[in-house]
Structure 1
């Protein structure tokens, strides 16, 4: 396994990590420039030379993970008997500079209902470095003739997100396919489907947020059903409706999508900050 595969495994497991690269070497050092190590909170892959140098790099990387650092950092160490740290002495005689690059967990968003608003929302969120799940019970809503090929052609042709399409007769079953920490956005063509998805999301561990498009009267009907199903005030408060940022009153699908996307990106950043604390 090389360092790239180690990073890919961390991404697949949704585990944050830091790539430590020997960026510059002056004089003698245990490893040459370009040597890499991947550090997570409880695992290591590769080496940048062992000893004081490596222990210091690991400690710095794990400190970055603990505070949720998003920007790369440089670490310069002098390897001589006159330069000591809590990890001991290395007398190679050189100086090294290491680049520490965070590999964050990629945020996940699930859009239920790829109608007019859903498609506009997918176009916006698709430009983000996220995992984007698009779910609909209607095959034609996810057909290539309508949405193209994500990352290649059509409305989602410029997508930078990892776009995953789910055509499911029972759309709420997609909650078993998305990773923990997913932000759920509900905007299907059918209020019965919307209610089933919201109820399933409330009963799914690890859902980061639940947003619902709709009127106050629609939510009042949902509240009545959800209370009858045993959901308390704390559970109901997890549902943001109408979802989106304040101050945008337009009912145009593209305008609604901008509002919803803005709030979703806020929630992604809020969750990242909270996780780092």
Structure 2
């Protein structure tokens, strides 16, 4: 997730110094992936690089750097942590952690990164793993350098743009860490603002996703929402299906069975969805299937309708229990889709 961009922006606006910790390399088993981040200020830590003894040692080092403010501090350094030998963690892998000391006024690259992210422009944050300088923001059209007046090395520029083109994940070579920053392609439309709908939005909004939360009742939707949730009050919720991109995820849980049928019909007719889930029992599914057939939905598309929803084995009926089971099922669907496309995506992790 890219919440760290907003977190750093808020810290900079308070003119506070902080240390940005990033998992820069992984060998073997580790609790977090390359690119995972944690921010350490004088008063708090934000995010996680895996918890446990590893995170404790890293946070302690970052606090020491902050306490040394006023003395010469390297802008950037990388430390290696064997999890078994140094941290007593059973993972047994090796993790490289990059420390970046950020003063409250050194925010030029952060300003530009936030601008590009808000404009939904993909960019690769390219960072030198050693030395005092070397930060670049590489997009398809341009490359901006920070901390120095040296142009981005041609081979680094090529590697960063290849990562953008391939849809690759964060990775490193012997000199640079490459971190693609993109808008999430995990797009969810949730129809219905009842108790289960609210609990499900609460669970899903913590993920790296965008949610369109749709209801046709006056004042049913809350006015205060997380930044990745858009509330849509409309007399015709089914028309919102057309606003979603291909590959989207749909959850249908309104107060009205006819409205549920209308929404499901529109989603199934599109056919380009990753997941279409309808809240209800098997008997509700059978009734809906009869009506959906009358609406011209083929047997093949009906098989793609998920009803009941939620991972198997969860028997609870409380809204939060249903919400967690549904969120888990959406994650399964998302990961299955990503795994099917993984052969076309560069995901190698290079260790220092």
TM-score band w.r.t. shorter chain: 0.7 to 0.9
Aligned counterparts of 1:170 and 1:101: Cα–Cα separation in 2: 41
Establish whether residue 219 from structure 1 lines up as the match of residue 285 from structure 2. yes
Residue 79 of structure 1: aligned partner:
none
Deviations 1:98-134 (A, max 9, x none): 2200224411111101101111111111222211111
The match for 1:44 among 114, 122, 141 is 141
Residue 73 of structure 1: aligned partner:
171
Aligned counterparts of 1:101 and 1:44: Cα–Cα separation in 2: 17
CA contact (8 A) 1:75 1:99 kept: yes
Aligned counterparts of 1:240 and 1:272: Cα–Cα separation in 2: 19
CA contact (8 A) 1:6 1:38 kept: no
Residue 62 of structure 1: aligned partner:
162
Establish whether residue 174 from structure 1 lines up as the match of residue 240 from structure 2. yes
Residue 251 of structure 1: aligned partner:
317
Residue 120 of structure 1: aligned partner:
199
**Structure 1 residues 185-204: aligned runs within 5 Å:** 185-204=251-270
TM-score for the superposition, normalised by structure 1: 0.72
Q: How many residues align?
A: 228
- Cα pair distance change 1:54/1:205, threshold 3 Å: farther
- State the shift of 1:202 in Å: 1.3
CA contact (8 A) 2:129 2:177 kept: yes
TM-score for the superposition, normalised by structure 2: 0.58
- State the shift of 1:168 in Å: 1.0
Residue 274 of structure 1: aligned partner:
340
- State the shift of 1:24 in Å: 4.1
**Structure 1 residues 137-152: aligned runs within 5 Å:** 137-144=216-223, 149-151=224-226
Root-mean-square deviation (Å): 2.7
Aligned counterparts of 1:131 and 1:67: Cα–Cα separation in 2: 19
CA contact (8 A) 1:181 1:208 kept: yes
- State the shift of 1:4 in Å: 4.4
- State the shift of 1:272 in Å: 2.8
- Cα pair distance change 1:68/1:215, threshold 3 Å: same
- State the shift of 1:208 in Å: 2.1
CA contact (8 A) 1:124 1:258 kept: yes
